[in-house]
Structure 1
Amino acid sequence: RSLTEAVGGDRIAVASLVPASMDAEDYQPKPEDVLRLRCARMVVRVGLDYDLWLDRLLLQAGEPELRRGGSGHVDASFAIAVLELRGMSVGPGDGHAHGSGNPHYWLDPKNAEIVTGTILEALARIDPAGASGYEANRLAFLARLDAKLKEWEARLSRLDAAPLVAYHNSWPYFARRFRLNFVGFIEIKPGIPPSASHLARMIETMRARSVRIVIREPNEAKRDVEFVARSAGAKVVVLAASVGALPGTGDYISLFDTNVAALESAFTAR
């Protein structure tokens, strides 16, 4: 939503089907979502199997231009260099693993240039009169983002490849951009809760690697995270994987501002 607003500015009105507090992969569409889609001229999706439920919803809405291949259908993952491609190796026991790759690509700020370019192309296609304004909005946003990225990289460089653990593997793009070192995940596989033996191995790994920071998202269960952190002498840091998931993360830039500040504070307080 935030990247679409950054390009569209005051010329468009944007609404999210999925509440900010919820993982899009787990969202159960509501009847009113069909009505909202019928009023839309464009739909922007994450793609990479993260929002497969949207296809059925678009069929129910009965608006051909919003479906895959339509003029108003935008897959924001288009042209992204996807990490963790698994292809046909994904099976029934793989939980939320994605054969199309890890879908959390927006957590690399550099990917915003690609995503906003895709959005710009679609907006200009359905609203040619606004094309120049959309382009100006995008360039202004990317200039702000580039300045902030330099700041974030400098601040997170202080972590100096310190080992980190997270509950869920939402962070490969974030880690690659900011050179963070994730050494394990509390989930056995994405979407599959950890067993007692897995938790024990994780605690052992954390002690051996001197892990002092464990990351969880606001919608993830506290119990296992806090148990592992307490047992290994680590601190829990809550990060937002999407805009609006935490207070102070109301747009794309503030999402990174908040996450960078939380990590920086936890590291310096070790």
Structure 2
Amino acid sequence: MTKIDLTGRKALVTGAARGIGAAIAKALTDAGASVMIGDVLTDLGQETAQTLTSGGATARFVKLDVTSDSDWEAAVAATVKELGSFDLLVNNAGIEITSLVIDVKAEDLRRMFDVNAVGTLLGIKHAFRAMKPGGAAGKGGSIVNIASVAATIAFPAIAGYSATKSAVDRMTRIAANESGKLGYGVRVNCVYPGLVPTEMGMKLANDIVAAGLAPSVEAAVGDVIGQTPLGRLGEVGDMADAVVFLCSDAARFITGIGLPVDGGMGM
């Protein structure tokens, strides 16, 4: 992508130990930002931070369970203290539990809503408190929430997950509205990633087969590609570049939007 300069920006990225989150953390550091990786996967998160540091970036790790108010408070405080400020938040942490509607389990729904929806809104809350005038950082900033193409299409076997990502979209728009009206100086946007063949993405493909909706993983993936006008699956870099853009001054007059990064699947 065209080089975007985020030199001097301080970011906290959740769920950044692996997958799309790790790619976002790397893209932010490549653009010049310092990054705090927040994740429940302590060993892998520390390893990811060390890999970025070894490449010349400024990266740290903090243990963060996004469903915990106290963890959020500690993670934001650590970001401000260790990086020197806090002006970018990427709410990437999320889980997906596949189920046909006829087989859905209440405990699975609650777990997805707790991580994907509650975790995201708690992140926005604590970022607002730190970034707004008078906060610990107090210079405004940008929040990017990771929703999903699942928030925009009716894809089988992910009703609960789709609901949580639709919630992320609505929370994004309301938070952007509140931030603007109350003078927080924080832009809030979200992106809708398409299917990416990460561990989580390929688990979905296997689950689709197990649910009897496709004869093989190859067929399940092929069906997604067939629904995608650009004719391929997404790559982690596609998602990371979109996040970097929304974090940057190139998006300075953009707030309250959902940006599809799905190859046209959700059109």
Same fold flag (TM > 0.5): no
Higher RCO (CA-CA < 8 Å; seq separation 6+): 2
**TM-score for the superposition, normalised by structure 1:** 0.35
Tell me which protein shows more strand as a share of its residues: 2
**TM-score for the superposition, normalised by structure 2:** 0.35
